[in-house]
Amino acid sequence: MADYNIFIYGEAEISYLKKRDKRLAEVIDKVDPIERKVIPDLFAALINSIVGQQISTKAHKTIWEKMVTALGEITPHVIDSLSDEELQRFGITFKKAAYIKSAAQKVLSGEFEIEALRTMPDEDVCTKLVELDGIGVWTAEMLMLFSMQRRNIFSFGDLALLRGMRMVYHHRVINKQLFTRYKKRFSPYASVASLYFWAVAGGAIDGMKDYTSVSNKNNGNRRENKSGKKSR
């Protein structure tokens, strides 16, 4: 079975973030300590991340639980022993099945040294991961946060994170330049800030609203497409 741990943070990170940002401090005071599961095994976490691309959190959880129940350990050998069709029976798309098989084969052959990621800086981890088929920057960032427990992950590609930030700061739009300023403010503990913005986006605090949604409703514009696994 896939083993789980909890993303570890404590008073040092909380104290730092509260001093750096008044509004985030208010959020932290209103939200209970966040316990987020992480998958310490890098290969299992990689497969989990691919499974979760472009689907809802609920669908991701359902598919992953089916895989873990049926397969036990999610290892390169186990995945490589399955056909694409067998993987698809869990609810995985044809493309994702191909990506998953490719990752397993590259790890088994030594072409991709997954354990070497542990000692690399964040930027190098991201660069290396996106060499794999089907892995983009967002997936790489989620792997760094939810497997490697890297402390300073703040993903511009995560729609739920952006939504939580809009709700906290009352922005209608958060562009790359503004996002970068916030990340700099929260560094070196931006991963912990991410957890709280995801909580806000998920409705952890009553009465908070998404100012983009309000603006679009008032102006008759189309709402942002929030497909994908973005709610944390």
Domain boundaries, the chain: 9-35+153-219, 41-146
Give the model's pLDDT for residue 2. 60
pTM: 0.86
Q: In terms of CATH architecture, what is 41-146?
A: Orthogonal Bundle (1.10)
Name residue 93's amino acid. Answer: T
Q: Do the Cβ atoms of 108 and 76 come closer than 8 Å?
A: yes
Backbone φ/ψ region at 72: left (φ over 0), alpha (ψ -120 to 50), beta: left
The residue ranges of the chain whose pLDDT is under 70 are 1-3, 213-232
Give the model's pLDDT for residue 232. 41
Distance (Å, whole) CA 192 – CA 17: 9
What topology does CATH give the domain 9-35+153-219? Endonuclease Iii, domain 2 (1.10.1670)
Give the model's pLDDT for residue 57. 86
User: What Å distances lie between residue 115 and 14, 41, 43, 132, CA to CA?
Assistant: 30, 9, 9, 15
Distance (Å, whole) CA 98 – CA 51: 11
Q: Coil, helix or strand for 22?
A: helix
